[in-house]
Structure 1
Amino acid sequence: RLWGTNITRLEQTDLAVLESQVDEAQFSLVKWGLHVPEEGTIEAYAAAAKLIAHAQSLGTKVLKESVTGFLKNDKGRVSGVVTGSGHVRGSHVILAAGLGSVPLLATENIKLPLTGREGLLANTAPTKKQYLNTLLRLPGLHMRQTLDGRIVFGASFAGGQPGDDPQATAEDLFNQVQKTFKDGNKLEFGHYTVGVRPDPEDGYPILGSTGLEGLDLAVMHSGVTNAALVGELLAKKILYGIEDQMLKDYRMDRFKSYAKL
Structure 2
Amino acid sequence: MSDCLVVGGGIIGLSVAYELSKRGLSVTLVEQGEWGGQASSAAAGMLAPLKEFASMGPMLDLGMESLRLYPQWAQELEERAAGDVQLSLEGLVTVALNDAESEQLKAKFHWQKEAGHDVRWLDGKELREVEPLLSEQVVAGIHSPGEGHINNRLLLRSLVTACRIQGVQLLSGCVVSGIAVKAGRVIGVETTSGPIRAEHTIIASGAWAGIMMQMLDLAIPVRPVRGQIAAVSSVGIPLRTVIFGTSGYITPKKDGKIVIGATEDESGFQREVTLAGLASVLNGVMPYVPALHAAAFLEAWGGLRPATADGKPLLGPVPGWEGLSLAGGHFRNGILLSPITAKRMADYVESGRVDRLEAFLPSRFLP
Aligned match of 1:198 in 306, 310, 327?
Answer: 306
Aligned-residue Cα RMSD (Å) equals 2.4
Give the direction of change, closer, same or farther, for the CA distance of 1:4–1:238 in structure 2 (3 Å limit).
farther
Could you tell me which residue of structure 1 aligns to residue 334 of structure 2? 223
Q: Are 1:68 and 2:177 counterparts? A: yes
Instruction: Measure, in 2, the Cα distance between the counterparts of 1:4 and 1:216.
Output: 35
- The alpha carbon displacement at 1:36 in A equals 1.6
Give the direction of change, closer, same or farther, for the CA distance of 1:53–1:155 in structure 2 (3 Å limit).
closer
TM-score computed with the length of structure 2 as normaliser: 0.61
Q: Do the aligned residues in 1 keep the contact of 2:231 with 2:300 (CA within 8 Å)?
A: yes
Instruction: Measure, in 2, the Cα distance between the counterparts of 1:47 and 1:15.
Output: 30
Q: Are 1:119 and 2:231 counterparts? A: no
Task: Count how many residue pairs are aligned between Structure 1 and Structure 2.
Answer: 246
* Structure number with bigger Rg: 1
Instruction: Measure, in 1, the Cα distance between the counterparts of 2:209 and 2:223.
Output: 11
The answer for unaligned runs of 5 or more in structure 2 is 1-112, 268-272
1:128-167 to 2 correspondences below 5 Å = 128-129=235-236, 131-155=238-262, 159=264, 166-167=274-275
Richer in helix (by share): 2
- The alpha carbon displacement at 1:15 in A equals 0.6
Q: Do the aligned residues in 2 keep the contact of 1:167 with 1:192 (CA within 8 Å)?
A: no
Could you tell me which residue of structure 1 aligns to residue 94 of structure 2? none
What does the per-residue CA deviation read over 1:174-213, in whole Å, with 9 as the maximum and x for residues that have no partner? Answer: 2454553353343122332232221111222121111211
Instruction: Measure, in 2, the Cα distance between the counterparts of 1:62 and 1:155.
Output: 31
1:206-217 to 2 correspondences below 5 Å = 206-211=314-319, 212-217=321-326
The answer for unaligned runs of 5 or more in structure 1 is none
Over 6 Å off, 4+ runs: none
Aligned match of 1:35 in 110, 134, 143?
Answer: 143
Instruction: Measure, in 2, the Cα distance between the counterparts of 1:173 and 1:52.
Output: 30
Q: Percent identity?
A: 26
1:35-54 to 2 correspondences below 5 Å = 35-54=143-162
Q: Comparing both chains, which one has the higher relative contact order based on Cα–Cα distances under 8 Å and sequence gaps of 6 or more?
A: 2
For residue 248 of structure 1, what is the amino acid of its counterpart?
A: E
TM-score computed with the length of structure 1 as normaliser: 0.84
Moved more, 76-85 or 172-181: 172-181
Give the direction of change, closer, same or farther, for the CA distance of 1:213–1:130 in structure 2 (3 Å limit).
farther
Could you tell me which residue of structure 1 aligns to residue 208 of structure 2? 100
